Amino acid sequence: MFLAGYDQSMDRAVVRKISARFDKAVISERGRPPDVALAREQHATYRGHLERAGYEVTTIPADDRYPDCVFVEDTAVVIGGTALLTRPGTDSRVGEVHAVANQLASLLPVAHISPPGTLDGGDVMQIGTHLWVGYSSRSNREGLDQLTRVAAEEGVVVTVVPVTGVLHLKSAVLPIGPATVVVTPGTVDESLLAGLEVLHEDESEHHKFSALPLRDGRVLVTDAAPRTGELLSSRGIQIEPLDISEILAVDGGLTCMSILFST
């Protein structure tokens, strides 16, 4: 059996509960208002999978001022031994960073993205000592430059990847193992993913597939993309389909609800 999980030393997870105003979260033209109660049930199941996989899970309370606050990944990126606090590219989300900063500052040294830079953590994909960072509507050139400087101090290489037609890099490029990703065709220049094995999301499942490899070797996948899931299973990857319909409704995915790291 191929084990696709992250480095087992990555044993901590930070998540944040769902706001009572989650139905007011930022939604693209493809989205719809989510069912808040169902979203909370789905999020609890997600947290349970993290605990089962062996992560020490810290849960930050929701803040109803910020409907999108469950998407904690966008607020911080752990690079080596540094927690880089972001500056989200949507003004209504900037205040989400404060509570996450308080939590991470007790565990790691912190750095900050400063204006006019913007960066969403959903644009940052780390595999080993390499970061692929999306140049998107949420992460601007100044933000990418600041991240690159922090990464260099940690001995981490950065490749900037312009993204097309999706919100974040990890809306279209999902790591499923130490050197393998699933890509939505037409969203990135795949030559920029040199060194990675690229699999493709099934044509019928665009914007429905998301994945999160766990430290115990399982890969959480969305049950809304069964054909892509079957592709992974056929390669010996141990998938765990999960219903996150209400998260997908607001352009979310499996990676964006947690920050996974080691201390």
Report the 3 state secondary structure along 176-200: CCCCEEEECCCCCCHHHHCCCEEEE
Give the separation between CA 258 and CA 71, rounded to whole angstroms.
Answer: 7
Residues with Cβ within 8 Å of 262's Cβ and at least 6 positions away in sequence, in order, are: 7, 9, 10, 11, 12
- Active-site residue among 43, 168, 206, 207? 168
- Euclidean distance between the first and the last CA atom of the chain, given in angstroms as a whole number: 29
Separation between Cα atoms, residue 19 and residue 55, nearest integer Å: 23
Establish whether 256 is a catalytic residue: yes
Please calculate the CA angle 78-260-204 and round it to the nearest 5 degrees: 110
User: Of 69, 206, 207, 256, which one is the catalytic site residue?
Assistant: 256
User: What is the C-alpha to C-alpha distance for residues 187 and 163, in angstroms, rounded to an integer?
Assistant: 6
Token couple for 108: 């790691």
Q: Which residues are the active-site residues?
A: 168, 256
